């Protein structure tokens, strides 16, 4: 604000994940995930809300997760990102009259070559699987047949911060390649 005099876009993309069962999680484990994934975005949104309201415009995007279903070894993460989704909807209503939009983008499985790869490898170990078997199982759950890439997520974020999305607020944009969390995608058939 001091340097440029205004803030036009905020993207809350920080996140930490913890691969533990609920019964093995400490209070400190839980609190750390909530601090980064839920409290952090609250603090940054609060910091930019008033300047955006005064300017009569602004875009806020919170990176959440696929919602609506559990994920073993991920309770703290899922809870924190679900909280962020609820916060996103509420903030969208509070800021709409000021020309500020607030949306969420929910990436699917962002894979190898990213910071998420370490977490997926840890999950494979926790499940007693080789990386190759785990990766094949994950890919079978994604109908488009590949991992989500950072560019896929960036394209969704670019849309919701664009002038074309001025009427889009309080929405969740899934970038999952068709992943629903239920079952395995059917094999390709001859066409």
The string of pLDDT tens digits covering residues 37-62 is: 999 999 999 999 999 999 999 999 99
Considering the chain, what percentage of its residues have pLDDT values greater than 70?
93
Annotated domain spans of the chain: 9-108+148-175, 110-146
* Neighbour-count burial of 84, counting CB atoms closer than 10 A to its CB (0-12 exposed, 13-18 middle, 19+ buried): buried
User: CA 27 to CA 119: how far, in whole Å?
Assistant: 20
> Which tops the pLDDT comparison, 115 or 95?
95
User: CA 56 to CA 96: how far, in whole Å?
Assistant: 10
Short-list 11, 29, 134, 140, CA closest to 75? 29
Tell me which of 96-100, 126-130, 147-151 is least confident: 126-130
**Residues assigned a catalytic role:** 77
The set of residues, in sequence order, having a beta carbon less than 8 Å from that of 70 and lying 6+ positions away, is 78
Q: Where residue 2 falls among pLDDT bands split at 50, 70, 90? A: confident
| pTM for the full predicted model | 0.88
Kindly state which CATH superfamily the domain 9-108+148-175 is placed in: NAD(P)-binding Rossmann-like Domain (3.40.50.720)
Q: Where residue 115 falls among pLDDT bands split at 50, 70, 90? A: confident
């Amino acid at each position: 604000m001091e340097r440029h005099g205004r803030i036009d876009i905020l993207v809350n993309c920080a996140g930490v994940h913890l691969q533990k069962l609920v019964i093995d999680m400490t209070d400190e484990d839980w609190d750390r995930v909530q601090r980064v994934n839920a409290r952090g975005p609250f603090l940054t949104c609060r910091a930019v809300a008033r300047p955006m309201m005064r300017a009569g415009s602004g875009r806020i995007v919170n990176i959440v997760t696929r919602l609506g279903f559990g994920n073993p070894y991920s309770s703290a993460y899922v809870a924190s990102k679900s909280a962020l989704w609820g916060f996103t909807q509420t903030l969208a209503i509070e800021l709409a009259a000021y020309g500020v939009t607030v949306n969420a983008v929910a990436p699917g499985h962002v894979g190898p070559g990213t910071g998420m790869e370490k977490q997926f490898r840890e999950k494979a170990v926790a499940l007693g699987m080789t990386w190759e078997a785990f990766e094949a199982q994950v890919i079978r759950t994604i109908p488009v047949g590949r991992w989500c890439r950072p560019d896929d997520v960036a394209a969704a974020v670019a849309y919701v911060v664009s002038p074309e999305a001025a009427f889009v607020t309080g929405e969740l944009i899934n970038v999952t390649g068709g992943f629903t969390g239920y079952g395995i995608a059917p094999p390709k058939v001859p066409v």
